[in-house]
Each structure stands twice: as C-alpha cells, then as structure tokens.
Structure 1
C-alpha cells in the first residue's frame, strides 16, 4: 500500500489557503502542512475602498485558524531556509521540516531601504499608503485642505499595479464633493511610460484622468522621500513625458527632480522574502524561479510556486492566483498518481479592478501578452464592455468579490 505523500505549503495568504483547500478536496493520499506565522488573514483588495472611507476595515480581517481548511495542519512558524536536495525546509522555531512536495507561496515583503526616507515617513502625518494602513489613508484624504496631492509608486513590482491610481481617483472624487478641487492639484508620478499596459483600459483611464484634471508624469523613478520638507525626489527616465502639466513647487538637486507635496500616497517598494532571495530557489531577479506556464520550479520537480513571490511577468493579484491554483493542484495530483506533470497551463491571466469614482469601475483582465481577455460571465451581469466605466462593476468590487473570496475561493471552489 502506497504511503501518504506529505505536501508542505509555505504561506497563509490567498495562494497558500486556496491551494490547501483545493488539494484537500482531491481524492489523494496526502497530508497537508501549512506554515504561516501570522494570526490573521486579510482580504487586501478591499483596502482601496477602506482608504476611501467606503468599506469597513474590520470586514477585511479574519483569524487565520478560521480560514485554514479542515484537515490541513497549521504550523505557526516562519521559514528561514531551504534544503531542496534533502527535500526539507528550515523553520525559525521548529527546526527542519521534510516534504514530498513543496508549494512556495509566501507573498512579498516591503523593503523601505530602496526608497530612503519612506520607512520613517509612511503612515505618519500626510504620508500614507493603502498597502500598509488604509485607515490612515482615509484620515489623510479627509484632512487634506488643498495644495498638491501626490500619488506615486516605486520602481519595484508591487501588489496590484493599478492600486496606486485607484485611490487617486477616489480621492479626487472626495475633493470634488468637498468643493476643494479648485484649490487642489492632483499629480500621478509613475516610473512607467503608460497609464496601463492593456490598450483598451489605458484609453479609458486617459479619459478619466482628463476628466479629473490630473497631472500625469511618466518616467518618474522614485528615489527618496524628504518628509521634513515634504518633497518626493525622482530620477527622470529618458522617456519622461507629461500630460496636463500643472504649476508645481519643483526643486532640483544633483540631477534629481523634487516634487513638493501636501499629501503623498505611495505603494511601498516590494521584494521577495529574504529566505527566497538568499536560496537556491531564486532567479537572477531574486524571485522564485518557476516555469511560466506550469509553475513548477525550473530545477526541482517537486517544488511549485505561485502568488506574489513567483518570478513570472504578470500582475501580482488575487485574480492571478485564482487561475494559478488549479494549475499547481493539477500538476501535483498528476505527479502523485502517474508521476507526470498535468496538462493544465497558466497563460499569465491577471485582473485589476480599477475603481474610477465612487460608484464606477473598469475591469482590466489580461494575459502574459497584455491581451484584453474579459470574462464571458460578465455578460450575465449585463456588462458588455468591461473596459468602460460601469456601476455594476463597482457593485462587483464592493459586494460580489469579497463574497466570492471568503465563501468560494478560500474554500477551494473554482470561480
């Protein structure tokens, strides 16, 4: 009689919980161990709405023990290293843990050293981030009385690349409602060369920015923050362009350009956890080295990786994970039963719900080639072009997606 296969999953975020739940539904002889140090599990996509005062933060958090699937063992510990040749990992408190199959899904971490001054400034005064403290973001937006509202992002990959502009659109809506638009200058400074990488979505967003009178500054690479003087310093890329210029308080120093702000929102610079960066599992960019389509590690056949830590060229979103999990589960199932890889492939699908106003949203769905790939099920909601703003998409974001997340996705049900 064949022995039970031990599957170890690193990470209790969206990817780890979904994989554990889906695997536990398979008719396989397996024991599943999930390693995660945190007490709580967060539904972070709603933090955009929390930061705009239209969603309750308490609804985004649940105890970790409540979301770990039945039959899955939880080791409340941190991973500090890998020994893939010995099929084991090293934990902080529990020593070595062996496995037959390993799923690596720890998410990403913030490295404030990449933008000097940001770590000391974030979540204090007029500097805020939905990524770290959306309650403080809402406080900053409410207390803004006019001046320059600067929205920006680092040069690293980040969770949901559209999030830094979503909160900007909602903030503009709030300023308009408070009748301080005429005293306000909204600036979006981004290292990229376009507002969004998917053409139909970009066309809509450029119209949104025009309507909202936002100063777009492309090719602005955030270098450091001077919180005392309220200046964000940038290196300008050769392809630097500007749309809808505004007269701002600008400083220059040693080739850098500084934009003075009266409020600042940014995403933190993000990297893979150190135990991945320093491991034999990392690629040259220090992310988890997996095959783009199978999500199998490029050198170790019994290791799979998915979610934000995976070194694949797609947006780091929960929607991407939704399509990655079935591929990983299929591959592990096939390897256990027939010692071959499965036939499911991941095409790079991700999606970004881009809220453009209170009550309006655009839904960007795309693949590795940045092709616009809208879900046919949207027609059931009477949404026939999700690249255009729609109130039904807002309802999906605020009510539909959280319900699906807690009640379907985290329970291993395909949606």
Structure 2
C-alpha cells in the first residue's frame, strides 16, 4: 500500500485519529510534516477534498509570464507526508464538545486534537456580474491558477487604453498581490514602449497603499514612475464585461458612499475573501466568522484541544505562506505538549512576509510581525527590505519555491524555528 494512506470518506465512518488536520493547503501540509518530524508514532489524518496542491505565491509570476502555471501545481498525494492518512472529503460541521467532526459524506471522525487550517473562501459571486465574465472580456485575476495565464495574455496584447487593478477590503491573502500584478504589468508596458499609452488605475478599498508604512516610500516611487492613479476608498461591486465597465462604491472620509463607473480594457480583480461557511457557522468561530485562537499559542480560546493556523485564524498577521511557515512549528510543538498533558510551550510573533514585486528583477521584501514591527531575516547590509533589490528577486524567483516544496512541506524549519513561551 502507498505510504500516503488515501481513503474515501465512505470508509471512514466512526473512525478516529490522534490528530486530525482540516485542510491540505500550505498550512495543513506544513503542520503535518512538522508533527511527523517530531513524533513518528502519533496518528495524523488530513481531510481535504482537493486532488491538487498549489503553490499560490507563484501565481503572480505566472501572470507576468515568468513561471508556467504547471510549475505551481502538484498532485495532492505527492505532498502528503509519509505515514499520514489523507481522506478526500470535506468537513461539514464541528462538534468540539464531543471531539468529533462530520464530513460531507456523512461520516464522523473523532480526534484527540484538532488542527483547523482550511484557508479562505474567495467570494467571486459577491461582485455582481463577475463570475459570468471572468476569463474573457478583458477580465482576469491572478488569484486563480487557471486565470493567471490569461492575465499575461492580456498584458502582452494591450497596446493602449485603460487598465484597472482592484483590491477589496482587508483581510485578504497576500495583501501585496493586487499591487504586484499592477507593477509587473506596468514594467512590461514600459519595456515595450507602451507605458505612455496605458492609463493605469489602482482602486483600493482601503485608505493606504500598504499597511506597514516603512515600505510605502519605495512603492510610491514606482507608482510615480509608472504614472499610476491611486483611488483609495473604492470597492469593486459590479462588472459589466460586455460593456467593459467596472462599478465601484467610494466611501468618503465622512462615511458617504458614491457609485463610480470606470471603463476598462483590462481589469485585474481581487475578490473579497472570508472564512468558509463551515467555519463561520461553527462553534469555533469568533463574532466576525474567523477561527478564534490565541494570537501567540494559536490554541483555540474556548476549546483546549483545538488549534488553528493559516489564513482562517483571527490573528492580525498578514495572511501569507510565510506566516503559515512560521505558525506550523508553533502549532506542532504546542499540540504535542498538550497531548503530553502540558500547557503550550511555543509562541508565534505574528511574522509575515510579502515580497512586493515592483519590476521584473526588483522586489521590496516586506517582513514584519504583529503591530507592523519590521522583522528582517537578513542584515541590512546584505538586503535592505525597505528598498527594491535584485537579491530579493532572486529569493522570490529561485529560492522560495524550493524552500516551499522541499523545506516547508517537508517539515524543515530553516529560519522558522519557534520561540518558546516565557517561563
């Protein structure tokens, strides 16, 4: 039998696992690998219906013609850690009082400890008319692997006109990705001598270009160089693909709301994002629908045998793969401590990283912890994260993909060893 014991949910009725992980994305695979490296005997089960595992940070590069989309996708079975059971099913409800989850198939799974990390729901349907026009009429998004190649097709084909890039209200996964798509597109048009013929507009539902002020000056230099118009407080609410018109609601400083229509030849959309319904509607959610955990230990605030990590938790860190890479060993250590009858021993400091790709060959490497405190991984003389550098580009293009597939998903914790709780 294959070491990755794949089972259909129909054979899993009333089974149980020492540790049950909900979600087989970056967070789920990383925490399973971290657990397995620390304890070879504990039983681990991952529940996820997907057949493929995606390296989502690479999709911006696909949308700029730098990566092929196939480079970012692998079979799920190939990334499941050794001796970890994978159930191809979806969770429908949680019963933390009974230490059980019910699956979409109707099966029930018991657990000793539960780790919840299903990622976010991209709510495309929240924007009127968007699902009907995605992938045609000049409407695209790097937030879907099947659409990122269309982004590059549109960028190459645009000879002039209006290019709109949008960003919805926070939180979203990889808050810099909406800008990365814009900067890389503008850099291509500049290289082709077409930049002056393209009217680039960035409509951001928020009030600032980036949430950590130290990185804004470098970004603004590129905004100016590319001639980008910044439209803060504008949230995309509707798309008419046939007419090529995008409708925004602009919120003023006084709270007033105004509808604005913008014509486009290219529209790059980032959809609003939220926790999946089976989290929002569960006993595990906070008042806003996110998984409720302690920001340091990542243990659920009300259920001692439940932990969470990744994009679905209600912590204030940036929702990035880099955050999940730091969270995974914290959760692994704390889950094993609880299994041994002790209190959590490791702490997450809110680290997140966002390589802001401002041009082909140049990246502003934003790294920060809770509260926007800068947390560079390298000395400033080697890599100043507040300035665009070629070294950061090399990390993004060549090092980070290998670190993801061969490091993070294998439980190797280079620059990710968890800090211990004081005392």
State the TM-score, normalized to the length of structure 2.
0.90
Whole-angstrom CA distance in 1 between matches of 2:398 and 2:40: 35
Q: Which runs of 5+ in 2 are unaligned?
A: 1-15, 415-423
Give the aligned partner of residue 18 of structure 2: 6
The 3-state SS of whatever aligns with 2:43 is strand
* TM alignment of 1:180-329, pairs within 5 A: 180-239=194-253, 255-329=258-332
Q: Which runs of 5+ in 1 are unaligned?
A: 241-253
* TM alignment of 1:92-131, pairs within 5 A: 92-93=104-105, 95-131=107-143
The 3-state SS of whatever aligns with 2:94 is strand
State the TM-score, normalized to the length of structure 1.
0.92
Whole-angstrom CA distance in 2 between matches of 1:384 and 1:358: 17
Whole-angstrom CA distance in 2 between matches of 1:118 and 1:139: 19
Give the aligned partner of residue 403 of structure 1: 402
Whole-angstrom CA distance in 2 between matches of 1:226 and 1:61: 31
Whole-angstrom CA distance in 2 between matches of 1:146 and 1:343: 57
Whole-angstrom CA distance in 1 between matches of 2:151 and 2:412: 33
- Deviations 1:190-212 (CA, angstroms, capped at 9, x unpaired): 01111111122111101111111
Give the aligned partner of residue 30 of structure 1: 42
Cα deviation, residue 107, structure 1: 0.6
The 3-state SS of whatever aligns with 2:182 is helix
Whole-angstrom CA distance in 2 between matches of 1:63 and 1:112: 25
Whole-angstrom CA distance in 2 between matches of 1:61 and 1:372: 32
- Deviations 1:68-97 (CA, angstroms, capped at 9, x unpaired): 000101111111111111100011125100
Whole-angstrom CA distance in 1 between matches of 2:17 and 2:80: 19
The 3-state SS of whatever aligns with 1:392 is helix
Give the aligned partner of residue 245 of structure 1: none
Whole-angstrom CA distance in 1 between matches of 2:131 and 2:287: 26
Structure 1 residues 72-81 or 229-238, which shifts more? 229-238
User: Is 2:83 aligned against 1:80?
Assistant: no
Match of 2:66 among 54, 74, 79: 54
Cα deviation, residue 178, structure 1: 2.0
Q: Is the 8 A contact 1:28 1:333 kept in 2?
A: no
- Deviations 1:343-386 (CA, angstroms, capped at 9, x unpaired): 2211211010000101110100011201121113x66xx63311
Whole-angstrom CA distance in 1 between matches of 2:318 and 2:407: 22
Q: Is the 8 A contact 2:20 2:115 kept in 1?
A: yes
Taking a change above 3 Å as real, the CA distance of residues 30 and 9 of structure 1, as seen in their structure-2 partners, is same
Whole-angstrom CA distance in 2 between matches of 1:284 and 1:131: 27
The 3-state SS of whatever aligns with 2:364 is strand
Q: Is the 8 A contact 2:170 2:206 kept in 1?
A: no
Match of 2:83 among 33, 49, 71: 71
- Deviations 1:21-72 (CA, angstroms, capped at 9, x unpaired): 0101113641000111111111110110100001111111111111000010
Cα deviation, residue 151, structure 1: 0.4
Q: Is the 8 A contact 1:155 1:222 kept in 2?
A: no
Q: Is the 8 A contact 1:47 1:131 kept in 2?
A: yes
Give the aligned partner of residue 352 of structure 2: 350
Instruction: Give the 4+ runs in structure 1 shifted more than 3 A.
Output: none
Cα deviation, residue 293, structure 1: 1.2
Cα deviation, residue 327, structure 1: 1.3
Give the aligned partner of residue 414 of structure 1: 413
Whole-angstrom CA distance in 2 between matches of 1:239 and 1:348: 30
Cα deviation, residue 228, structure 1: 2.3
The 3-state SS of whatever aligns with 2:347 is coil
Whole-angstrom CA distance in 1 between matches of 2:129 and 2:48: 30
How many residues are treated as equivalent by the alignment? 395
